[in-house]
Amino acid sequence: MNDLEMAQLITDCTIELLKSKHFEKISIMEITKIVDISRVTFYNYFQNKEDVLDVLIENLLTNFDEIQKKNLPFLKNVDMEDSTAIKDILFPNTLEIMIFFYENRKYISALVSEHSPVDFMDILYATYYNHFLIALPEIFSVKFDKVIIASYATYMTTGVKALTEEWFLSGFCQTSEEITERILTMLAPSLMELYTRKVGSP
């Protein structure tokens, strides 16, 4: 077993335990016993049990952010006065994000559970917000007032967070396509409204 596989095994064990008990009650001894490794081996991969979740979340957010950034080139070439066109151009990339969440549902479900020591949705909110804060000015190639951009970023992030959190907590009962459609139906009007502000700019 290579290092990557061992780290993954430790992570999977921790997440599995998190499904049935609070993180505070999970011990490194318990993890090492299940994985059948020594404490020394555990510490070769992680500083402590908190580090297991920190590394997992960092990896999830890094991959998530990379997928998000693919949206920018598409939006620069879309008719921003047509909500259907906006949704059509964003659908493949947004769907890719939702599929990514779905494929990692065992981790996400544990991280948003009552047993988790972290507020994963707040962490996800910050990532979404920073993306919108950077993306919106680039999309419209106009210098909007920072307050306006922050306002739209907050509104759009809050909407996306609410929809994805509902999806996560439901056990991912909707398909990736269905949640993608709901998110884009919420986002398209905001993008159109901001475009109208651009057109009206001096």
Q: What is the pLDDT of residues 24-73, one digit of tens each?
A: 999 999 999 999 999 999 999 999 999 999 999 999 999 998 888 776 66
Q: How far apart are CA 133 and CA 157, in angstroms?
A: 10
Hey, what CATH class is 3-45 in? mainly alpha
- Fold topology of 53-199: Tetracycline Repressor; domain 2 (1.10.357)
Among 75-79, 111-115, 116-120, 152-156, which is the least confidently predicted range?
75-79
Domain edges within the chain:
3-45, 53-199
Which H/E stretch holds residue 83? helix 83-103
One-letter identity of residue 114? E
| Nearest by Cα to 152 from 122, 192, 183, 121 | 192
- pLDDT of the residue at 86: 85
pLDDT value at 199 more than 60: no
pTM, whole model, 2 decimals? 0.89
Q: For the chain, what is the mean pLDDT?
A: 89
| Nearest by Cα to 191 from 84, 99, 95, 93 | 84
